[in-house]
């Protein structure tokens, strides 16, 4: 058993010792969506900082805990606050929380984030369903010795964002009259926003939105066989596409502004994908 797997198992056992609950769906709450954790009928929560050898989020405004309970009657675990590569963590630590949620029993995953819009058909405040991602700019979380207990050495990534979950997301958005966009997400390492030249390059590579998370989590989840979908909140138009310089304040403001729709959509997705066997 390799060291990373041993650490994951001891973290899993610690969390299970605190809250004995088997989640069906795991949710990663991105910027502006943290409030959804308060809507969970909570049966317990565990602070990341209490978990032995667990990476802890340092970004101001990011809470760091797992929240367990029921949402739409479905047993879920939510990550209120995630771990970012730009905080200086090892890429294996960045994906540890997602892997732990998988090891706790969640076979389905909903990833959410804030992202900059590259596709000029998008407007600030739009929601985008992630159809696929480009993660080649960041180190794969699957580098190093393969964790055979989780998955194969060379995992297929031809359908990271499950087709049947994408169909469910579309149906939920329609039911809620939310005009959801669709597109490819590209992950950068951050923490700086991009240059306009980088954004032009990413556009030519086929990206519709850019952010500093998610793709590595999606890869780790697929590696271990979780089925997933992802939603981005387009909090700003990417560098060079708006007359103003980018700020974290603008990102937070937009995320807060659309959080009602975002929360309603994620609740509907939880309900819908729980019915998919």
CA distance from start to end of the chain: 31
Active site residue 114: yes
Among 76, 190, 218, 251, smallest CA distance to 134 is for 218
Distance CA 30, CA 113 (A): 4
According to the binding rule CB under 6 A, does residue 29 interact with ligand HPA? no
Active site residue 92: no
Distance CA 41, CA 113 (A): 23
Binding mask 177-196 for ligand HPA (x = CB under 6 A): ----------------xx--
According to the binding rule CB under 6 A, does residue 116 interact with ligand HPA? yes
Residues 239-268 that bind ligand HPA (CB under 6 A): 246, 251
Taking CB positions, which residue lies at the least distance from ligand HPA? Answer: 116
According to the binding rule CB under 6 A, does residue 112 interact with ligand HPA? no
Q: Minimum Å distance from CB 224 to ligand HPA?
A: 26
Place of tokens 């080649």: 136
Whether the CB-CB separation of 135 and 155 falls below 8 Å is answered with no
According to the binding rule CB under 6 A, does residue 126 interact with ligand HPA? no
The residue among 103 and 114 lying less far from ligand HPA, judged by its C-beta, is 114
| Pairing mode, strands 65-71 and 209-211 | unpaired
| Residue 190, Cβ density class (10 Å: 0-12 exposed, 13-18 middle, ≥19 buried) | middle
Active site residue 248: yes
- CB count within 10 Å of CB 233 equals 30
- Check whether the bond before 191 is cis (ω within 30° of 0): yes
According to the binding rule CB under 6 A, does residue 235 interact with ligand HPA? yes
Q: Minimum Å distance from CB 95 to ligand HPA?
A: 18
Among 113, 135, 162, 213, which one carries the catalytic annotation? Answer: 213
Give every CB contact of residue 260 below 8 A, 6+ residues apart in sequence: none
According to the binding rule CB under 6 A, does residue 115 interact with ligand HPA? yes
The residue among 191 and 225 lying less far from ligand HPA, judged by its C-beta, is 191
What is the set of active-site residues? 31, 62, 84, 86-87, 114, 212-213, 236, 248
Contact residues: ligand HPA, CB under 6 A: 114-116, 193-194, 210-212, 235-236, 238, 246, 251
């Amino acid at each position: 058993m390799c060291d990373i797997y041993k650490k994951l198992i001891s973290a899993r056992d610690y969390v299970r010792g605190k809250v004995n609950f088997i989640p069906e769906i795991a949710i990663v709450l991105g910027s502006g969506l943290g409030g959804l954790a308060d809507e969970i009928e909570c049966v317990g929560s565990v602070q990341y900082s209490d978990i032995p050898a667990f990476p802890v989020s340092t970004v101001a405004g990011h809470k760091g805990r797992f929240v367990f309970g029921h949402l739409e009657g479905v047993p879920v675990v939510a990550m209120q606050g995630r771990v970012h590569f730009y905080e200086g963590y090892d890429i294996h630590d960045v994906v540890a929380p997602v892997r732990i949620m998988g090891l706790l029993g969640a076979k389905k995953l909903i990833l959410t984030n804030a992202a900059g819009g590259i596709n000029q058909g998008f407007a600030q405040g739009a929601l985008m369903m992630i159809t696929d991602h480009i993660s080649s700019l960041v180190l794969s979380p699957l580098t190093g010795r393969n964790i055979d207990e989780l998955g194969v050495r060379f995992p297929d990534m031809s359908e990271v964002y499950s087709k049947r979950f994408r169909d469910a997301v579309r149906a939920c958005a329609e039911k809620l009259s939310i005009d959801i966009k669709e597109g490819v997400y590209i992950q950068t390492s951050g923490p700086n926003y991009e240059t306009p030249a980088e954004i032009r390059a990413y556009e030519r590579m086929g990206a519709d939105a850019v952010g500093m998370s998610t793709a590595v989590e999606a890869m780790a989840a697929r590696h271990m066989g979780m089925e997933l979908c992802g939603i981005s909140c387009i909090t700003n138009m990417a560098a060079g596409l708006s007359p103003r310089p980018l700020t974290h304040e603008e990102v937070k403001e937009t995320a807060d502004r659309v959080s009602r729709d975002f929360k309603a959509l994620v609740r509907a997705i939880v309900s819908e994908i729980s019915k998919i066997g």
